[in-house]
């Protein structure tokens, strides 16, 4: 019976076999358009974008941007965080910037983000506490602006945006991005995906301005 814990027995469970059927159809569709499609994919990747987004199941990476396999190097975690003690996001940034030489780094948050919502509430969430504390730090940094917003929904949305902005700053703080910026064109973008409308919003973060502002403190060489 312990297997039930692993595979699940709820009537609403996703039909896993359907996924393999879908995959078969997808392969056939791709090959019908281009017989060399998978062969070409296997030769290597040369993406121009590093996309850092939330793990939320409603916020896809490729689909919402209308791009294809091979176009974006993708990292997703709860609330699209970039934390310098997180080996996972740091190695992804290193690989994308130093080896794949991406030209664009996108941090994409989304309205109605459960991670951001949880950080706005006083609750002990176990292992999520240290992760969400980084969002509470964003709140503290911007508390004058946020506390002025009376409408809870608007405050929640603004924290999503400010979290994206601060994670972009964290990207810029990395040695790899600073080095790449000196040597070639590389831009950091802050975006928000609005689940309610499906729209992608560019927060128009002024990359060069932020870079100038923080370099006095975070310059690494
Ligand atoms: Co989220």
Containing structural domain, residue 197: 45-218
Task: Give me the sheet containing 104-110, strands edge to edge.
Answer: 72-77, 49-54, 104-110, 187-194, 199-202
Do 78 and 39 have their domain in common?
no
Do 60 and 140 have their domain in common?
yes
Ligand 1 center from residue 160 Cα (angstroms) = 9
Query: Any idea what the CATH number is for the domain that residue 154 is in?
Result: 3.40.1050.10
Do 108 and 208 have their domain in common?
yes
Do 92 and 2 have their domain in common?
no
The answer to whether 177 and 171 are in contact (CB under 8 A) is: yes
Do 113 and 127 have their domain in common?
yes
Q: Per-residue confidence of the chain (221 residues) as pLDDT tens digits?
A: 344 445 545 556 778 999 999 999 999 999 999 999 999 999 999 999 999 999 999 999 999 999 999 999 999 999 999 999 999 999 999 999 999 999 999 999 999 999 999 998 888 889 888 999 999 999 999 999 999 999 999 999 999 999 999 999 999 999 999 999 899 999 999 999 999 999 999 999 887 787 778 777 777 66
The number of domains in the chain is 2
pTM of the model: 0.90
Do 28 and 83 have their domain in common?
no
Active-site residue identified among 110, 168, 181, 189: 110
The residue among 16, 15, 38, 14 whose CA lies nearest residue 26 is 38
**What secondary structure letter does DSSP report for 37?**
H
Ligand 1 center from residue 98 Cα (angstroms) = 27
The answer to whether 178 and 220 are in contact (CB under 8 A) is: yes
**56 is annotated as an active-site residue:** yes
Do 38 and 71 have their domain in common?
no
């Amino acid at each position: 019976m312990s297997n039930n814990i692993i595979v699940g027995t709820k009537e609403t469970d996703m039909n896993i076999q359907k996924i393999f059927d879908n995959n078969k159809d997808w392969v056939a569709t791709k090959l019908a358009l281009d017989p060399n499609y998978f062969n070409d994919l296997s030769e290597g990747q040369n993406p121009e974008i590093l996309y850092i987004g939330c793990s939320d199941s409603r916020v896809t990476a490729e689909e919402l941007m209308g791009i294809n396999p091979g176009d974006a190097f993708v990292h997703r975690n709860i609330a699209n965080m970039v934390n310098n003690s997180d080996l996972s996001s740091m190695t992804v940034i290193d690989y994308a910037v130093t080896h794949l030489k991406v030209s664009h780094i996108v941090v994409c948050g989304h309205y109605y983000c459960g991670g951001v919502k949880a950080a706005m509430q006083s609750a002990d969430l176990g292992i999520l506490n240290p992760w969400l504390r980084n969002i509470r730090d964003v709140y503290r940094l911007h508390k004058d602006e946020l506390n002025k917003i009376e409408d809870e929904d608007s405050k929640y949305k603004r924290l999503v945006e400010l979290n994206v902005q601060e994670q972009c700053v964290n990207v810029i703080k990395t040695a790899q991005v600073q080095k790449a910026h000196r040597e070639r064109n590389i831009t950091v973008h802050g975006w928000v995906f609005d689940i309610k409308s499906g729209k992608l919003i560019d927060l128009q973060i002024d990359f060069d301005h932020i870079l100038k502002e923080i370099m006095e403190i975070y310059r690494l060489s």
